[in-house]
Amino acid sequence: MLAHVIHGLTDKRPILEGMGLKLVSLGKRAFNDASLRPSTWAAVKKTGPKNAPLKLSCALYKSLRVVSMTDKTVTVGSDRVYAAIHQLGGKTKAHIIRPKFKRALAWPGGAHPVKMVNHPGSNIPARPYFPFRPDGAPTQMASRKLVSIIRAKLQAFLPK
């Protein structure tokens, strides 16, 4: 029995896996429950149900997962290239916009169709969904959840 308990304390993978899955769960729930977010989300310019921040296609929501795990660490994240800028905020690079399916670009209020537009980049406000503060520390609520997972996993190795 003692060997079983010692093995449970040295093999941290089950604990790390539980912690990672809890962080993913909290991140996904934060898309709909503002109380789980480390800070409030900035409003979008357009209003309406289809313009709710980060919810248009649900691709970011669906992409949250345990990315990797070692004997000592667990990493949660997303394979979406825009995931980090939404979590942390930042500025996108300046770039040229060209038409994909037509010969020119046009938009309401534009003077005339154009072949390309020099976009100066956009300031994207942080809209964090994973329960981490800007300094990388977990939120107080996330810390409590992670500690409860550690306790529950360790309790499973103790005699009953």
Which of the two residues, 46 and 14, has the higher pLDDT score?
A: 14
Confidence of residue 149 (pLDDT cuts 50, 70, 90): very high
For residues 13 and 15, what is the distance between their CA atoms, to the nearest angstrom?
5
Residue type, 53: P
- Return the pLDDT at 95: 95
Check: pTM over 0.75? Answer yes or no: yes
| pLDDT (0 to 100) of residue 7 | 66
pLDDT score at 46 = 66
Distance from C-alpha of 106 to C-alpha of 9, rounded to nearest angstrom: 63
Distances (CA, A) of 105 to 36, 41, 95, 102, 120: 41, 31, 15, 7, 17
Q: What is the pLDDT of residues 70-122, one digit of tens each?
A: 988 999 999 999 999 999 999 999 999 999 999 999 888 887 799 999 999 99
User: Which residues contact residue 56 at a Cβ distance below 8 angstroms, ignoring those fewer than 6 apart?
Assistant: 50
Cα angle vertex 94, ends 88, 98, to 5°? 120
Tell me the pLDDT tens digit for each residue of 43-65.
Answer: 777 655 555 677 778 899 999 99
Positive or negative, the CA dihedral 152, 157, 159, 160 is positive
The DSSP code for 68 is E
* Long-range CB contacts (within 8 A, 24+) of 152-157: 152/18, 153/8, 153/14, 153/15, 153/18, 154/8, 154/9, 154/15, 156/8, 157/4, 157/5, 157/7, 157/8, 157/9
